[in-house]
Each structure stands twice: as structure tokens, then as C-alpha cells.
């Protein structure tokens, strides 16, 4: 809290917190999990040398009943809420041995797959969602509570039951998957797990959501055995205001509809089965398209690297929109044994695509060309993002120009010159590349910008001092100077003046412009 929210009788508040702690805090359920490159005897020896790390044995209290809404009374509801539409399907299934919970990571890998033909690709193409997740809400009292959560721009409510129809159609296909396809998604889930930070990995292990070899069929069958509760938000309802769990809200019960939308005739696509690639108008001419640089490789792997041309960058909102549009390509590349992503290096967004086999590269490029947007005009970045991160994301666009239809520089690394010709010809239809990719040497002069203070929230300051020169000696001196500045900067603002809680001074590089960056929030 702060002085405004905690104004009043502070001693009384502290006493109330202490009373609550003494009455309700219990440590008998706490567990300690350690993940380290040590043997079990070494860990035991370390723990035995810590006498304070002993937990008293106390009898467990009976768990409270788990609240589950009556499905007969509330099969589908609308909740009045402004902004983006949130659409949720919630399911609670019995899971006394946590066998179903162990299969959730595999179900999430299948559900979050955005490759062409997947459930996610279908929902996005139908305009039913912009983002979607499968969340574990609770595993209390031997039950598993899952929620399908979709977010889309504000629109009229969907007919109740339309999402449920597609969800259950997809679950029925899961129960018929071959072991080969299940193993494929198991490997993808394990690869994604290994990319997580060590702290996130151990968090998932402790919560029972680490990747395991548990089959997904029992979980799919359990979810099919019930109709989900459904809740979606909308801007305005005609119902009266009432209270729910102490919160004022406006809700309205929906009547289940028979409108299931247009489901795929042949069902959803599960890989490694490949969907037919989109048609292309290329004639595979013998001439090598201009503007793409060919980098020779010795193996079968194919790599594509692109960035906005020298002197231009993407805004933070443009990069987020491009990443959202290209999610099917990213997933398809992973199915082909490769990786694809948009990464930011010194404020410049790079698109990288790698495919393990040359035979899959053409299919990936065809989808990349098909999905590539004609422009990247966007309104603004997400205002809910942490303020200092928002300033850092927007700052590179102040040092270089942006455009609704930016040009790109690109290079393709492959061993076959004929393959390079085909790939560059496919990409050049939608991705005009005016010049071979070069190492940019952008320089920027003084830049001044003012954001109006937030009326309800934090305010921030970003101050960047570019180096007068860019020699190796200048950079070494700037790093040493920033290291000297940091403790004095922090002590002055954070400790003496008590201004802000994000206070930093360090060496930073933006679009090939090195300098010293000061940030304050």
C-alpha cells in the first residue's frame, strides 16, 4: 500500500494483521524443494547441518469443502465489464490421486499449439480470440479445476455453447490420437520446459505441473464427461445491479444455443501430420531475386534472419502485433524440429526462423508469406504494462524512424543455391527486401520526448546519454563510469530522497548507439 490507501490508524492496522497471522497462519503444510547439481547424500548433509530448519509435526485439519457452482442453475452467464472480452469455460473433475493433474502439461502443449489447422489457429481465424490459455485454477480436495480463458477485442457476445462445441469436438479427437502424435507433443512440451528459467521449472515441479509421461486420454475423457460452465464479459447489460461474493456486478444468464459455428470438416490437425501448404503464384524462375543475401551452410538446416532496414525500427506495439500474427509460423517451425521467434537486440527486432530439414523449409516459408501483414499500423502499446518497461520498449522508435509498411533486410543460410532461389522468391512476394542485410551503423543525436503524467498510477523518467565516440576505449570507459554512477544514483534518489522504487544507472546500447542509461519510476 501507500500513504493514501493506508491512511488512518496505522497501529490498529498492524495489530489486526498480527492477530490474523497468529490465528490463521499454519506452517505444517509447508514443503521445501531443492533442485541443484548435488547428490541426495550431499543435500541431506547440508540440511542436517541446519538445526533451525525443522518443522514441528502437527495434526492435519480436515480440508474445507471445495465450492463448485451448480451447473444446472448457471450453465452460461454474461458479466458486464468494459474493455476486451474475456470468455471462460471452467471444468471441475475428480482427481484424488493427482493422476489427471500430471497430464495437464501435455494437454496445455496440445491446446496452445498455434500451427495451421490447430484449435488455436481455428479460433483466431474465426475471430473468437486474440489470446488463449488453459489454466489450472486449483487442485484442492482431490479435484482438478481447469479453465479455458480466451481474450478478444470488444464485440457482441457469442452464442452460449459455441466455444463448448469446438472444445469438445477437439477433445474427442484427442482420445483418438496415435501414440506417435502424442509422443511428438510430449517432446515439444519437454523442449519448452527446458527453455524455462530454473525458478519457473522448480515452481512447476512443486505444483505438480512438470512435464510427465502420464497419458492425456483419461484427462480428455474426464473433461468430455461434463459440460463446462461458461462465462463471458460484455460492455453493457440491461440487468439490475446486484452483489456477488461482496462485489457489485451486473450479470445475466444466457440460454444455450444450438449455433456451433462452422467446425472443420476433416477435424483439427495434429502434427507431425502436415497440412497442405497454401498455394503460391511463384514461377520458380532461374534468376535469383535481388535483395536477399545467401549464406552458405554445410548441413541440411535452413535459417532465415530478417530485420527492419537500417535506420528503421518497429515500435513496441508493431512488434507485439507481428508476433501475434506469426504465431502459426512459430509453432510450425517447432513441429519441423526448429525454432522461430521475434527477439529484440539493442532495440532492433529480429525475426529468426530455423528448420532442421530443407524439405520443410519451403512449407514454412509459404505460410510465412501467406500470414505476413500488409501493414503494421497499430494504435498504441498496452497501457497496462509496467511503466518503465513501456518506456524502454518505446525508446528505440525515438532514435530511428518507424513506418506502417516497413522494409526489411534478410538473409537465408542454406547449402543449396536452388533452394535459396525458391525460398527468396516465395518471401519476396509479400516481404519486399530492398537491399542485402548489412551490419547497421545507425547514429542518433539528442532526442527529447515528454509523456504526460499518469493521472492514476506511476510516473517514470528515462534519460539516455549517448557516447560522443564509439571506440573500444570509449565503451570500456562508459561501462566503468556507469558502475561508479549506480551506487551514488541509487543512494541519492532511493535512500536520501525516497523517490521511486525502480532506480538504475547502467551501460546500455540502443540501435548501435552505446551510452549510459538512467531510469527512475
Looking only at the bridges linking them, the beta strands covering 229-234 and 76-80 are parallel
Mean pLDDT to the nearest integer, 29-34: 75
- Residues 345-363, mean pLDDT to the nearest whole number: 90
Residues whose CB falls within 8 Å of the CB of residue 316, separated by 6 or more in sequence, listed in order = 381, 390, 393, 394, 397
Choose among 114, 123, 33: nearest CA to 335.
114
> Sorting pLDDT into bands at 50, 70 and 90, what band is 4?
low
Of 79-88, 283-292, 381-390, 418-427, which range is least confident? 283-292
pTM for this predicted structure: 0.80
Residues facing residue 91 across a β-bridge = 146
Nearest to 375 by CA among 314, 417, 416: 314
Q: Distance between CA atoms of 180 and 68, rounded to whole angstroms?
A: 37
Mean pLDDT of the chain: 83
Mean pLDDT of 71-85: 79
Write out pLDDT tens, residues 146-197: 999 999 988 889 998 899 999 999 999 999 999 999 999 999 999 989 888 8
Helices and strands, number each (H, E), in the chain: 16, 16
**Closest listed residue to residue 228, CA positions, set 68, 439, 434:** 68
pLDDT for 72 equals 45
For residues 207-215, average pLDDT: 84
Q: Return the pLDDT at 286.
A: 39
Q: In whole angstroms, give the CA distance from residue 465 to residue 467.
A: 7
Residue 488 has a pLDDT of 86
CA angle, residues 488, 493, 495, in degrees to nearest 5: 85
Least confident of 112-116, 303-307, 321-325, 465-469: 465-469
Residues 344, 349, 354, 360: what is their CA dihedral angle, to the nearest 10 degrees? Answer: 140
Q: How far apart are CA 193 and CA 108, in angstroms?
A: 12
Q: Cα(238)–Cα(240) distance, rounded to whole angstroms?
A: 7
Residue 447 has pLDDT above 60, yes or no: no
Q: What is the pLDDT of residues 231-269, one digit of tens each?
A: 999 998 888 888 877 788 899 988 887 777 788 888 999
* pLDDT (0 to 100) of residue 402: 84
- Contact call for residues 316 and 390 (beta carbons, < 8 A): yes
Res 440: pLDDT? 43
Range of 132-146, 327-341, 440-454 with top mean pLDDT: 327-341
By percentage, how much of the chain surpasses pLDDT 90? 32
Amino acid at each position: 500500500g501507500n500513504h493514501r490507501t493506508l491512511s488512518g490508524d496505522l497501529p490498529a492496522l498492524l495489530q489486526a494483521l498480527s492477530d490474523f497471522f497468529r490465528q490463521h497462519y499454519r506452517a505444517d503444510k509447508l514443503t521445501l524443494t531443492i533442485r541443484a547439481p548435488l547428490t541426495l547424500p550431499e543435500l541431506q548433509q547440508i540440511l542436517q547441518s541446519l538445526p533451525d530448519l525443522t518443522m514441528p509435526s502437527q495434526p492435519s485439519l480436515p480440508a474445507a469443502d471445495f465450492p463448485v457452482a451448480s451447473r444446472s442453475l448457471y450453465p452460461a452467464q454474461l458479466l458486464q465489464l468494459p474493455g476486451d472480452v474475456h470468455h471462460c469455460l471452467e471444468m471441475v473433475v475428480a482427481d484424488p490421486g493427482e493422476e489427471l493433474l500430471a497430464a495437464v502439461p501435455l494437454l496445455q502443449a496440445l491446446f496452445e499449439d498455434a500451427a495451421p489447422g490447430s484449435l488455436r489457429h481455428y479460433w483466431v481465424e474465426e475471430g473468437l480470440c486474440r489470446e488463449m490459455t488453459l489454466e489450472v485454477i486449483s487442485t484442492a480436495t482431490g479435484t482438478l479445476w481447469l479453465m479455458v480463458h480466451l481474450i478478444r477485442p470488444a464485440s457482441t457476445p457469442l452464442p452460449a455453447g459455441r466455444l463448448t462445441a469446438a472444445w469438445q469436438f477437439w477433445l474427442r479427437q484427442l482420445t483418438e490420437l496415435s501414440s506417435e502424435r502424442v509422443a511428438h507433443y510430449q517432446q515439444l512440451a519437454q523442449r519448452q520446459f527446458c527453455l524455462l528459467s530454473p525458478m519457473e521449472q522448480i515452481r512447476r515441479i512443486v505444483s505438480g505441473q512438470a512435464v510427465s509421461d502420464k497419458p492425456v486420454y483419461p484427462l480428455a475423457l474426464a473433461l468430455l464427461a461434463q459440460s463446462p460452465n461458461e462465462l463471458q464479459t460484455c460492455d453493457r447489460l440491461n440487468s439490475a445491479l446486484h452483489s456477488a461474493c461482496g462485489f457489485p456486478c451486473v450479470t445475466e444468464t444466457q440460454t444455450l444455443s444450438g449455433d456451433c459455428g462452422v467446425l472443420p470438416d476433416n477435424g483439427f490437425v495434429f502434427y507431425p501430420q502436415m497440412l497442405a501448404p497454401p498455394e503460391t503464384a511463384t514461377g520458380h524462375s532461374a534468376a535469383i531475386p535481388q535483395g536477399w543475401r545467401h549464406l552458405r551452410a554445410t548441413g541440411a538446416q535452413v535459417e532465415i534472419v530478417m530485420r527492419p532496414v537500417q535506420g528503421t525500427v518497429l515500435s513496441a506495439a508493431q512488434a507485439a502485433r507481428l508476433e501475434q500474427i506469426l504465431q502459426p509460423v512459430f509453432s510450425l517451425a517447432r513441429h519441423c524440429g526448429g525454432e522461430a521467434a521475434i527477439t529484440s537486440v539493442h532495440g532492433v527486432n529480429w525475426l529468426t526462423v530455423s528448420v532442421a530439414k530443407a524439405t520443410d523449409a519451403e512449407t514454412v516459408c509459404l505460410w510465412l508469406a501467406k500470414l505476413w501483414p500488409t501493414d503494421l499500423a497499430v494504435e498504441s502499446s498496452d497501457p497496462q504494462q509496467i511503466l518503465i518497461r513501456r518506456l524502454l520498449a518505446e525508446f528505440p522508435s525515438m532514435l530511428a524512424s518507424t513506418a506502417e509498411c516497413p522494409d526489411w533486410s534478410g538473409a537465408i543460410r542454406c547449402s543449396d543455391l536452388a533452394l535459396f532461389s525458391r525460398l527468396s522468391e516465395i518471401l519476396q512476394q509479400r516481404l519486399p527486401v530492398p537491399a542485402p542485410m548489412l551490419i547497421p551503423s545507425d547514429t542518433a543525436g539528442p532526442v527529447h520526448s515528454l509523456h504526460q503524467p499518469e493521472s492514476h498510477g506511476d510516473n517514470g523518467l528515462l534519460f539516455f546519454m549517448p557516447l560522443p565516440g564509439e571506440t573500444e576505449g570509449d565503451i570500456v570507459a562508459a561501462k566503468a563510469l556507469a558502475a561508479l554512477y549506480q551506487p551514488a544514483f541509487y543512494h541519492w534518489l532511493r535512500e536520501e530522497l525516497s523517490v521511486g522504487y525502480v532506480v538504475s544507472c547502467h551501460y546500455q546500447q540502443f540501435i548501435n548507439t552505446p551510452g549510459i542509461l538512467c531510469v527512475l519510476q
